[in-house]
Amino acid sequence: MLNIVILAAGLGKRMQSDLPKVLHPLAGKPMLAHVLDNARQLNPDRIIVVVGHGADRVKTAFAGQPDLQFALQIPQQGTGHAVQQAASQLLEDGNAQDATLVLYGDVPLVQADTLQRLLQARGQGMAVLTETLADPTGYGRIVRNEHGQVVRIVEHKDASAAEHAIQEVNTGILVAPTGKLKDWLARINNNNAQGEYYLTDTVGLSVHDGLPVHAAQPSAPWETLGVNSRVQQAQLERNWQGEQARRLLEQGVTLADPARFDLRGSLVCGRDVYIDVGCVFEGNVELADGVRVGPHCVIKDALVGAGTHIEAFSHIQEAAIADQAHIGPYARLRPGANIGSQAHVGNFVEIKKSTLGQGSKANHLAYIGDAQVGARVNIGAGTITCNYDGVNKFPTIIEDDVFIGSDTQLVAPVTVGKGATLGAGTTLTKDAPAGQLTISRAAQTTIEGWVRPVKKS
Ligand code: UD1
Ligand code: CA
């Protein structure tokens, strides 16, 4: 049985925030959610999150996840004390496979393959994830004997001058046999510089009991970076964005500047996709072959078909765009926008919960909501579907090959028949028949001899 205990009870004082530290986002989602995603890749039998500061908010944020358990640690008396609070919830079969992996909620990016190697390294005993740092200040040091075997971990504040020179540090992440871990946790004390129960003291107890402690190292140094301040949060964000950008570049995506790229979710790209600077991708986005995205676009939960171009400053959310379409600049596609092949959506056009058929165009200044627009339709500048009476929403149907003149209001529910033309300025309140010109416009008059008023003296 594999248990994963995630320590998340700490205060995070240096964040200077009311929000519990592990709820602070990295790449658009809470740090703790990153840890959970990586933990779940190991298929654990149980995940226990140790909460303390802001416990209720953390629990609420992760409510309804049936594979999660919580343990409460109040007050916080150290990392060993924290794991102790979860001890009664640890699952055991009573065999050598039983293990408990300890992760930190504020070390969000440790990758599953690194954890997998740590689990391998333990054999039937304990393993710690260590790293060699040029400046090990503040970290617990890995003390090894003359044979190079790990013998204990000494915290920076408890270390001698000789131990301060050790550059191999404890990342905090470790795995131990569950039954033994419980036994060791019951034996640790708080006779140390910080008056805390150190999880790291279990390392010495394992060696004392004749069970060697192994070590493994992360694949990349950024995996074990923790977040204690907004500065570290920002640095880790850039680190992770750089890492995601690198992966996309390796897959053949062109990023105009990998340092000006933000992905807060997942982005799947076809071949020869081009992404200009300053774009933000959120949720699940797919860009098919040959898609080009101009600078400063925000794209969330969207599918974009092959060869489609999205021009600068477009905002797209929960929308699907077929192939060879042209969107923007300054287009806004809202939830339920469904844009057909070769369609054009130009500047200051907002489309919500509507279909725009193949080859149809709305090139300037329009609002299209709750509408079914057929193929080859031309929607003139300033056209508005009046879909809302203040209480209810109504549909507009515009059939194939319709031409809608500029500044037209379509008061829904209303239908424009196939091939119809609406004259500019029409306020359409009744269905427009197919193939004909429909127009509503007051007759134009000129007042003979009219003079402008002049200012009275
Ligand atoms: C710990 C390790 C140290 C290691 C370092 C890596 C111990 C005794 N020391 O030190 O060897 O080099 O991490 O960053 O384990 N937490 C709780 N409850 C507590 C105390 C801490 O949940 O009572 C949580 C914190 O929220 C945090 C994590 O445990 O997520 C680590 O706590 P922190 O205080 O940062 O540990 P360090 O003293 O840095
Ligand atoms: Ca820390």
The CB of 170 under 6 Å from ligand 1? The reply is: yes
364 is catalytic: yes
Tokens of 263: 């992905």
Tokens of 100: 């408990």
Ligand nearest to the CA of 232: 2
CA 52 to ligand 1: nearest atom: 22
Helix 201-208 and helix 178-187: axis angle, to 10°? 110
Pocket test for ligand 1, best of 79, 152, 222 (most atoms within 8 A of CB): 79
- What sign has the CA pseudo-torsion 177, 182, 183, 185? positive
To the question of domain 230-438 being in CATH 2.160.10.10, the answer is yes
Q: Tell me the sheet residues that pair with 283.
A: 265
Q: Would residue 335 be called left, alpha or beta, if left means φ above 0 and alpha means ψ between -120 and 50 degrees?
A: beta
Q: In whole angstroms, give the CA distance from residue 282 to residue 358.
A: 27
The CB of 143 under 6 Å from ligand 1? The reply is: no
Q: Tell me the sheet residues that pair with 47.
A: 4, 68
pLDDT (tens digit per residue) in 80-129:
999 999 999 999 999 999 999 999 999 999 999 999 999 999 999 999 99
pLDDT given for residue 429 in this prediction: 97
Pick from 58, 44, 187, 29: which is nearest to 102 by CA?
A: 44
User: How remote is the CA of residue 92 from the centroid of ligand 1, in Å?
Assistant: 25
pLDDT by 10s per residue, the chain, length 457: 999 999 999 988 999 999 999 999 999 999 999 999 999 999 999 999 999 999 999 999 999 998 899 999 999 999 999 999 999 999 999 999 999 999 999 999 999 999 999 999 999 999 999 999 999 999 999 999 999 999 999 999 999 999 999 999 999 999 999 999 999 999 999 999 999 999 999 999 999 999 999 999 999 999 999 999 999 999 999 999 999 999 999 999 999 999 999 999 999 999 999 999 999 999 999 999 999 999 999 999 999 999 999 999 999 999 999 999 999 999 999 999 999 999 999 999 999 999 999 999 999 999 999 999 999 999 999 999 999 999 999 999 999 999 999 999 999 999 999 999 999 999 999 999 999 999 999 999 999 999 999 999 8
The CB of 81 under 6 Å from ligand 1? The reply is: yes
CATH superfamily entry for domain 2-224: Spore Coat Polysaccharide Biosynthesis Protein SpsA; Chain A (3.90.550.10)
For 262-291, give the secondary structure using H, E and C. Answer: EEEEEEEECCCCEECCCEEEEEEEEECCCC
Ligand nearest to the CA of 169: 1
pLDDT given for residue 116 in this prediction: 98
The CB of 79 under 6 Å from ligand 1? The reply is: yes
Q: What's the pTM value of the predicted model, to 2 decimals?
A: 0.93
User: How remote is the CA of residue 79 from the centroid of ligand 1, in Å?
Assistant: 6
Domain boundaries, given as residue ranges, for the chain: 2-224, 230-438
Ligand nearest to the CA of 170: 1
Report DSSP state, residue 393.
B
